[in-house]
Structure 1
């Protein structure tokens, strides 16, 4: 069963209805896979589900799906030769503006990044290295700290932030032992060379990771929207390095995800407090999430080192 939209859709879930006679006759879907495409030619499996033999199934996706074409592939039912679906509703909204649906571009062969250094020298150790993130910056390189240990190495440190700070101090060089963020020119230089995504490491050495694809497919604050780490985007009351949300961009309800770079405490009418360096995941999940609390990291950490690769 396939649906064609007039523009890219952000799908967060769906509801499937089966008539009682079909359900009793074993015709209700059991094993299904949601697939998405942007050209109606190449479809990718997004997520698979096992449905119960009931009249109505409401499914929330673990990760939102993006695409102009969406279809459900039914792989099995409850015993009948025929498969029957009475009604199908998708939940989500249309994406406004531009959204990056492309795969990562090839790394500039002339670039000198933490990732390229690690690729050439896999036994390289953590430390300071000279970088020229693209050929456009030839001769205008700078020193940066590289994490060559976590998640296959090759990560560039761009920010080291902690709760309840008055400001985000800009630095030509960010160290793991001192708070601060890269200057705007260096941040943009590292950002343009990003291939993989963002890794965070907290004061307890817990590592989280989110892919570039998710960082760019945000409906609120895409990573490319952030021109300055010292003045991040503040759509409501929290400064974000990245922010995704299904309904609006006010960080309300249970459908938002973010990387916070806030300073001091911020409050709003419902007395909710947001502070400092923290991660949140609802609709869009981090690819690696090390915290016991499955939604919010702030109860278990106060400081985050933020790396780009």
Structure 2
């Protein structure tokens, strides 16, 4: 895990405009684009690092600092959560970083979700990459990603997942479900529902899956970086 974080930080400092996240400034942030993808498309040489993104353009949300992965799977990915198994709660943080656990605010999450065109990307502590398309994320029969409006309030909304598709029913009892979990220790119902994990037992599969014939990632990883594009 420590090695992966070092790689991210070094790559962020190799020629890109790195935004200092260690100091809080009263000056308004100047947007560098509407998304990491827009920044990548306008400057293909952009490297992974922190950028100031205005997710809703001229609308009420202020620009925020976002970590952009500009390399993996074509680049242009925005980090919206960094989570690990066993945490007592999910914490909203102003800036989701590569070295601290947390999730993005409700308002900024909704803006990211509603502008998603490509899908989601997941990187574990061993640098293994999973990816799933936006069509699958919006097309789930039990819990499409469009239902999730607050990442820290999943249990109160009656769900423990960012995304849930199941062949028969929606009770996660048979081995016929696909899930993206973002669960704290208080809402996990069984040992199989790891806090940060991916599952593809059902008919709807991830487009990139690094765990071989395994139908879940939880035996192989504890921590995930959650990206969206």
- The match for 1:307 is 227
* Number of positions where the alignment pairs a residue of Structure 1 with one of Structure 2: 196
Q: CA deviation at 1:136?
A: 4.6
Partner of 2:141: 219
Query: Residues 218-237 of structure 1 correspond to what in structure 2 (within 5 A)?
Result: 218-232=140-154
Show the 5 A alignment for 1:98-109.
Answer: none
Question: Which of 192, 208, 222 is residue 288 of structure 1 equivalent to?
Answer: 208
Aligned to 1:118: 40
Match of 1:278 in 2: 197
Q: Find 1:134's aligned residue among 43, 56, 77.
A: 56
- Supply the distance in 2 between the matched residues of 1:291 and 1:183 (Cα, whole angstroms): 30
Aligned counterparts of 2:104 and 2:57: Cα–Cα separation in 1 = 20
How far the C-alpha of 1:252 sits from its partner, in A, is 1.4
Structure 1, unaligned stretches of length 5 or more?
1-109
Structure 1 residue 212 displacement after superposition: 0.3
Structure 2: which 5+ runs fail to align?
Answer: 1-31
**How many angstroms does 1:290 deviate by?**
0.5
Aligned to 1:205: 127
Larger Rg: 1
* Shift of residue 155, structure 1, vs aligned partner: 0.4
CA distance, structure 2, for counterparts of residue 153 and residue 137 of structure 1: 26
Partner residue in 2 for 1:252? 173
Written as runs of structure 1 = structure 2, the 5 A alignment for 1:6-155 is 112-137=34-59, 140-155=62-77
Q: What is the TM-score normalised by the length of structure 1?
A: 0.60
> Among 175, 182, 185, which residue is 1:261 paired with?
182
Distance 1:297 1:215 in 2: 18
Q: Which has the higher helix share?
A: 2
Between 1 and 2, higher relative CO (CA 8 Å, sep ≥ 6) is seen in 2
Normalized per residue, the structure richer in strand is: 1
Q: Distance in 2 between matches of 1:220 and 1:136?
A: 34
Write the distance in 1 (CA, Å) between the matches of 2:102 and 2:195: 13
Distance 1:273 1:139, change over 3 A: closer
Are 2:90 and 1:171 aligned?
A: no
| Structure 2 length-normalised TM | 0.80
Q: Distance in 2 between matches of 1:235 and 1:255?
A: 23
Match of 1:157 in 2: 79
What are the superposed Cα offsets for residues 137-177 of structure 1, whole Å, 9 maximum, x if unpaired? Answer: 37722111111110000000000000010011101100011
RMSD of aligned alpha carbons: 2.0
